Structure 1
C-alpha cells in the first residue's frame, strides 16, 4: 500500500492537531482540520496557524486537492475557507453535516439565506466513499457519536479520526452535544478497531495525561485496543455508555463552542454582514 507523507501542526490554545497529508510523488495534498485563531473577548481573528500551513504548502510545492473537516468542530474555528482562498482545494466534510446545520440553524436562528443542505461545502463524503490524494487511495468512514457528521479518513494506512478517539491514556470523545450518542460512538469505535492493528491513527486533539508531560498525536489501532482507558478490548457497550454519560455530565461547555459552530457549519465562513457592514456571532441565552 502506498504511504502518504504527513506533517502535523499543533494549536495549543485549542489543543488541536491539523495535518497536511500528501503523495510524495504526485505532490497532491489534503489539509485536515485547520484552525483559525479567535479571541472571544475582542471578536478578533488571526491567521497565524493557517499561514504556517500555507507556507509549508508553498515551500514544498504541494497542490491542495482537499480541505477536509472531520466534523463540525465545537472547540475551534476552521480556517478552510481562508486557506482555500490562498492555495485552492475542495472543502469537504461528511454528508450528515445537514443534520448539524438543521439543529444549530434553528438554535442560532440563522439568516433566511442559510442553507441546511451542506451546499456551503464543495463536497460531502458518504460512508465508505473512496477517493484519492494524488495516487494514494483513501476512504471516508462514518464514525458518528461525538456528532452526527463525524468521519474518519483512511489515507493509505493512516486514519485521521477527528474527535472519535484520543490517545489511549485520554480515552474517547464526549457525546453530550446535540445529536451525540454514546451507543453510536461505541459502535463507531468498533469500526475503527476492525482495521488492521498496525493502522496508524492520528488524533485531532490531545490534552496530555496524568502520566505524560508531552503532547502526542499518533498511535495505532492495536495500541488503542490494548490500552484505551475508556474502550480497550473487552469493554462492553453498556459499560462504555455508562462511563461516557456519567463523565459527560461533569464536563464544561467548550470555551469556543458558540463561535465555532456558527462558523464551521458554514464551511469556515462567518455569518453574513448585517446592514451596518459588521458580522456578528450570536450568543443564545440559557439554552446550553
Structure 2
C-alpha cells in the first residue's frame, strides 16, 4: 500500500472517506465510514496478485484492516462497483473473514454469461452464490446511519454501478477519472461508449458539491502523484474528455479513437475468471490446486 488519504465528513449525513491507492494496479480502495456509528463499508478492495508467478496474497488489504482496527471502525459490508479487469477482487475472502455480506450490481449475471462464452466455460460462474447481495438500479441500503443509493452506470462494463452515499459522496467506479485524466475506457466485452456518456451525464446531475471518488489513477505527466477525489462541479467544468458540454457524438468519437490505441490490462484474462466468482479461485483439481484457463488469440 503506497498511499492513503482521508476526505473528512463535511457534516450531518456526510461520510468520512479514506482512499488507499494500490500502486501495482493504480486502483483505489475506499473505506466509507459513518462518523456517528463508526460502521463502514469497504469498496473495491484489492487482493494482491503477482501475474508473473500467479501468486495471490492479502498484503494490501491487511493494511486497511489494521487501519480500521486502530481507528475503531467496524467494517460491516464489502462492496464492488463491477467485476474488475485490472485487479483481483478481495470480496469473497473479506466477506468470509469478517462475517459480513458482499455486494455488486445484479447485471454481473449478464457479464458472467458473456465471459462463460469467451472462456468456453459453460458451467462456470454463479454470481448469486458468490455475492450475498446483487443490487438493482435504484436499490438502497445503509452504512451505519448513512443512506446509500445504487445507480446503474454502464459503459465501462454493462453492469457497473455507482454508490451514492449520504448527502455528498459518490463512488463512480471506472466512469470518470480525475478531471485532468478524462474518463475510463469502454472497449471491453459488453462496454459501450454511448452508454458511458449517458452514465457520465447521470453522475453530473448530482449536486455540484458531491465528492466523486474514482476507481483508478496513475498520475499524469504534469501531476506525478496519484489523486482520486474531485467534485461534480469540477468534472463538469474541467474534465478533459467531457468538460464544458461536449456532446454525445463528439464524446463517442473521442472515446472510441482513444480506446483503439489501448492494450488489454496485463491481469485481465486471469483475474476476471476469479472476479466473476467474487475473487474466489476455481475449484481445486485432483492435485488440490486451482488452475486458470486463458483463451489464446481471442483478443
Q: What's the TM-score once normalised by structure 1's chain length?
A: 0.96
Structure 2 residue aligned with 1:125, among 121, 126, 135? 135
Q: Aligned pair 1:137/2:121, yes or no? A: no
Query: Does residue 74 of the first structure (1) align with residue 64 of the second (2)?
Result: no
Map 1:104-253 → 2, pairs under 5 A: 104-110=115-121, 112=123, 114-116=124-126, 118-156=128-166, 157-253=168-264
Q: CA deviation at 1:142?
A: 0.6
Assess, with a 3 A threshold, how the Cα gap between structure 1 residues 267 and 107 changes in structure 2: closer, same or farther. Answer: same
What residue is the counterpart of 1:48 in the other structure? 59
Gap regions ≥5 residues in structure 1: none
Structure 1 residue matching 2:150: 3-state secondary structure: strand
Following TM superposition, by how much is the alpha carbon of 1:27 offset from its aligned partner in structure 2, in angstroms?
Answer: 1.7
1:9 aligns with 2:20: yes
CA RMSD between the two structures: 1.3
Over 3 Å counting, the alpha-carbon distance change for 1:117 and 1:39 in structure 2 is closer
Structure 2: where are the runs of 5+ without partners? 1-11
Task: Report deviation, 1:109.
Answer: 2.6
Could you say if the C-alpha distance between residues 106 and 118 of structure 1 is closer, same or farther in structure 2, counting changes exceeding 3 Å?
A: farther
Report 1:17-28 matches (<5 A). 17-28=28-39
Residue 115 of structure 1, CA deviation: 4.3
State the 1:119 CA deviation: 3.1
- Indicate conservation of the 8 Å contact 1:54/1:87, yes or no: no
Matched, 1:92 2:92: no
Counterpart CA distance in 1 for 2:126 and 2:239 is 36
Distance 1:108 1:187 in 2: 30
Q: Aligned equivalents of 1:30 and 1:211: distance in 2?
A: 33
1:116 Cα deviation (Å)? Answer: 4.0
Equivalent-residue separation in structure 2 for 1:66 and 1:18 (angstroms): 14
Measured at CA, do residues 31 and 281 of structure 1 come closer, stay the same or move farther in structure 2, by a change above 3 Å? same
Tell which deviates more after alignment, 52-61 or 88-97.
52-61
Partner of 2:285, secondary structure, is coil
Contact 2:127 2:278 in 1 (8 A): no
Q: Secondary structure at the match of 2:36?
A: coil
Please give the alpha-carbon distance, in whole angstroms, between the structure 2 residues aligned to 1:55 and 1:271. 29
Indicate the residue corresponding to 1:275 in structure 2.
286
Tell me if the contact between 1:64 and 1:88 (Cα under 8 Å) persists in the aligned partners. no
CA contact (8 A) 1:102 1:116 kept: no
Alpha-carbon deviations, 1:190-211, whole Å to 9, x = none? 0001011110001110021122
Q: Secondary structure at the match of 2:253?
A: helix
TM (norm. structure 2) is 0.93
